[in-house]
Structures are given as structure tokens and as C-alpha cells.
């Protein structure tokens, strides 16, 4: 687990654990940075799939929501299982 930035040549894959940030437009997971320097929350990334500009903050938000959905789903599955 943990935050990770993988990539080269300005290409970044934004993941937390095994959840990758997706482009809100096309669902792509590959982004490239528009400028050099460290990523900040307000930094805009460009989706390599459709060219959409997305703020880093938005992508992190998206990951958080996805993580929450998964957690809730896992909880639901647990509750469905009959107790022995
Ligand atoms: Zn896209």
C-alpha cells in the first residue's frame, strides 16, 4: 500500500494501492504533466487518451471515492455471508 508515482518522460500513472486514477472523460489512466517540477494539488495533468486537462486534486478525489466504494462493497459482501 502507499502512494506511488510511476512513469518517465513526464508520463505519470497516479495510483494509491491498486487503484489508479481515471480520466473523467475517457477513463484512461495515463496522464502527462504539463510542466516540470513536483506535483501539487492544483497541478494540471493531461490525459494521454483524450487530451482532457485534469487537476491532480481531482484525480486524488476520484481515487478516494473509488477506495470508499470498494470498502463499502467489501463490507456488504462480509455482511451477506452467513454466520457459522
Ligand atoms: Zn481522457
Over the stretch 29-83, which tens digit does the pLDDT of each residue have? Answer: 999 998 888 889 999 999 999 999 999 999 999 999 999 999 999 999 999 988 7
Largest CA distance in the chain: 57
Å from CA of 54 to ligand 1 middle: 9
pLDDT confidence tier of residue 2, bands split at 50, 70 and 90:
very low
CA dist 28 and 40 (Å) reads 21
Å from CA of 30 to ligand 1 middle: 8
As given in the structure block, the three cell numbers for residue 5 are 508515482
Number of domains in the chain: 1
Computed over every residue of the chain, the mean pLDDT equals 87
CA dist 84 and 76 (Å) reads 17
Å from CA of 51 to ligand 1 middle: 6
Structural domain including 62 reads: 3-80
Amino acid at each position: 500500500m502507499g502512494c506511488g508515482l510511476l512513469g518517465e518522460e513526464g508520463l505519470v500513472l497516479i495510483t494509491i494501492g491498486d487503484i489508479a486514477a481515471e480520466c473523467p472523460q475517457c477513463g484512461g489512466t495515463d496522464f502527462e504533466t504539463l510542466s516540470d517540477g513536483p506535483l501539487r494539488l492544483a497541478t494540471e495533468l493531461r490525459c494521454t487518451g483524450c487530451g482532457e486537462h485534469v487537476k491532480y486534486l481531482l484525480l486524488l478525489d476520484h481515487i478516494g471515492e473509488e477506495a470508499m466504494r470498494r470498502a463499502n462493497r467489501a463490507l456488504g459482501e462480509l455482511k451477506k455471508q452467513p454466520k457459522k
